[in-house]
Structure 1
Amino acid sequence: MNSFSEGVVSPLLSIWRSVAALAGVLLLSACSHNSALPPFTASGYADDQGAVRIWRKDSGGETHLLAVSSPWHNGATTTSEYRWQGDQLSLIELNIYSKPSEHIRARFDSRGELSFMQREVDGQKQQLSSDQVALYRYRAEQIHQTSDALRQGRVVLRQGRWHADHSVTTCEGEVVKPDLDSRALAHVENRQRRSSVEVSIAWLESSEGTQLLLVANQDYCTWQPVEKSF
């Protein structure tokens, strides 16, 4: 298990629940202090199902978003990539790392009409139904609205390698000490004792506090998106 589910309800899960309850309304905009948001951001949230990490870049009228969903217990990790031109969704690409694996891709033209769709399961190509496409479009808009709210609320995702002195070398090369609570620290230390390499952790920071999100032997920094190439 590469997740941390105990104690995720407070403080940052409360932010997500508020966002979900209001169907994407930017409840957290009051936290933004009306300052400009950076074009490239990393954020995330935890709910009862698992952890979601979100990277987003807004540039030249285009929005590029990658969401990585990691279930707490059962289920497969899923990566969901989306692109918008202005307000118009132009790309959906999903990779579901189950057995067998599943890959879904759909493209839309400048009018929002479907121009290409394909589902591939274990190497076998299939067509998507109109209902499936509609569901994926709906989920795309949901994650876009969630990302809007998390960015406005200044919920920031950080990742890196954990060290014995409780410091972390982030994927950006900075050495920091996350302000984790005792339960989170105990969880990381327990995972570290059972690992032959330094574990990676992912955590969230906001004005509400710091929350451990995930712990894994995998090096998150080998695949974390970087602004220049994203």
Structure 2
Amino acid sequence: MLAGALLLAACSHDSSLPPFTASGFAGDQGAVRIWRKDSGGETHLLSAFSPWHHGNTTLAEYRWQGDALTLVELNIYGTPPEHIRARFDDRGELSFMQREVDGQKQQLSSDQIALYRYRAEQIRQTSDALRQGRVVLRQGRWQANRTVQTCEGETVKPDLDVYALERIERRQNHSSAAVSVAWLEAPEGAQLLLVANEDFCRWQPTEKHF
């Protein structure tokens, strides 16, 4: 898959990378979109996991000061919804943890904390590779002439293959409003990531407010 080639595109550190980036990849279980901002020695990362078929959308927010993880916050939009928050001090020691399910607050086990730390490092390493490979996430509303009105207000024509275009148009034909599309652009080509009736632009992070 293109996503595999995109991940392999990572190479040496490139100081010209912009401080705010959006990227993503197609995994086995679903699509992952990643927004990241590096500023003042802090890395702030937000990932959105959307399952292909069944399951719950998950938003995960992470913060690092240098290489030290300082925050993990998860919102799992299931029934009931679940919220998890863990903070770490400058020595990497756990300073706060809480899991809330349907209004009920619980503590997290040490194994759960270790798993969240591991996942945080995984998503950061993936983000590093995607940024180095110049894999860029684009999102917006589909238009009748096969263009997209992006969340930034541009009108663009994604360089997607025929199968991807037909998939979008099938979804559009069953929707009364313009569907949202998310796709990846990289030197290796373009790949459709998601098509949905929801408005991706309504909650997409911006550099100023991230």
* Band of TM-score, shorter chain: over 0.9
Matched, 1:94 2:85: no
Residue 28 (structure 1) aligned with residue 10 (structure 2): yes
May I ask how many residue pairs the two structures share in their alignment?
Answer: 210
8 Å Cα contact 2:30-2:50 kept in structure 1? yes
1:73 correspondence with 2:53: yes
Q: Deviations over 1:88-141 (max 9, x none)?
A: 100000000111111000000111100000000111100000110010001000
> How do 1:9-158 residues align onto structure 2 when only pairs under 5 Å count?
9=1, 11-16=2-7, 18=8, 28-29=10-11, 34=14, 36-158=16-138
CA distance in 1, matches of 2:180, 2:172: 9
Match of 2:208, SS state, is helix
Question: d(CA) in 1 for partners of 2:159 and 2:103?
Answer: 45
Over residues 34-91 of structure 1, what are the superposed CA-to-partner deviations in whole Å (9 max), with x where a residue is unaligned? 4510000000000211100000000000000000000101110000000001111000
Report the TM-score when normalising by structure 2: 0.97
Maintained 8 Å contact 1:12/1:208 = no
Verify the 8 A CA contact 1:88 1:112 in the aligned structure 2: yes
Residue 183 of structure 1: which of 147, 163, 172 is its match?
A: 163
Task: Give 1:164's match in structure 2, choosing from 130, 138, 144.
Answer: 144
Please give the alpha-carbon distance, in whole angstroms, between the structure 1 residues aligned to 2:178 and 2:187: 28
- Counterpart CA distance in 2 for 1:118 and 1:46 is 30
Contact residue 12 and residue 209 of structure 1 kept, 8 A: no
User: Which runs of no fewer than 5 residues in structure 1 stay unpaired?
Assistant: 1-8, 19-26
Deviations 1:137-157 (A, max 9, x none): 010000000000000000000
State the distance in 1 between where 2:15 and 2:148 align. 28
Judging by fraction of residues, say which structure has more helix: 1
Aligned counterparts of 1:15 and 1:72: Cα–Cα separation in 2? 20
Q: Contact between 2:6 and 2:186, CA under 8 Å: does it hold in 1?
A: no
Residue segments in structure 2 that go unaligned for 5+ positions in a row: none
Higher RCO (C-alpha 8 Å, min separation 6)? 1
Provide the identity percentage: 72
SS at match of 2:122: helix
Verify the 8 A CA contact 2:84 2:100 in the aligned structure 1.
yes
Whether the aligned pair in 1 keeps the contact of 2:6 and 2:135 (CA below 8 Å) is: no
